[in-house]
Amino acid sequence: MIAKGHRAAGATSNMDLFTTICEIVNIAPDPESPSVSLWPALCGRAMPADRVVFSQRARQSGHHVAATDGVHRLHAIFDSTLDQEHASFRQYNIMQDPLEQRELLAEGGTIRDGLLDDMVGQWTRSRRRDAALVHGASPARIVPGEKELNRIRSLGYGAAQEAAQAGDRASD
């Protein structure tokens, strides 16, 4: 049982929830996913200390990309070429300033070693995956067995999908 109010230290992502649920119900997650299971951290073990979590949001004016290592968050606005010469950057110490009010680079700070490289690397891998899907590659599929499906159903998932599939079969 997880204690009420338990908080896992370290950088985490919403994508980690899927991998966590996969571990709980004993299904192998997508091996290409950068997510990790939060289950070990929720059971009192440490998250990977050097993990950097990546997020992105596309806009007409460019791409807003962020990388978080659990202590620092680096924001960057890139054009589509990832040209660092024309990018704007902001960095915050999210442990001391969780609302991101005190911008460290404006105060003469420097980008934390490796954080920009991690950001660029993860964004590049993400763009390659997106391009492959656009050009016809299929995303990795997870096909659970009956035992795993029953575990998923016991959590309240799967019924709507099964009903939709039954409706598709009836219309054929």
Q: Is residue 77 within 8 Å of residue 61, measured between CB atoms?
A: yes
Select from 15, 34, 37 the least CA-distant residue to 25: 37
What is the pTM (predicted TM-score) of this model? 0.60
pLDDT at 29: 80
Q: Which residues pair with 92 in a beta bridge?
A: 73
**What CATH number does domain 53-134 carry, 3.30.160, 1.10.30, 2.70.70, 3.30.1120?**
3.30.1120
pLDDT band at 102 (very low <50, low <70, confident <90, very high): very high
How distant is the alpha carbon of residue 138 from its chain centre?
A: 20
Q: pLDDT tens, 50-82?
A: 788 888 777 666 778 888 888 888 888 877 666
pLDDT band at 10 (very low <50, low <70, confident <90, very high): confident
pLDDT band at 170 (very low <50, low <70, confident <90, very high): low
Which residues make Cβ contacts (< 8 Å) with residue 68, sequence separation at least 6?
A: 11, 52, 53, 55, 74, 94
The ranges assigned to domains in the chain are 8-47, 53-134
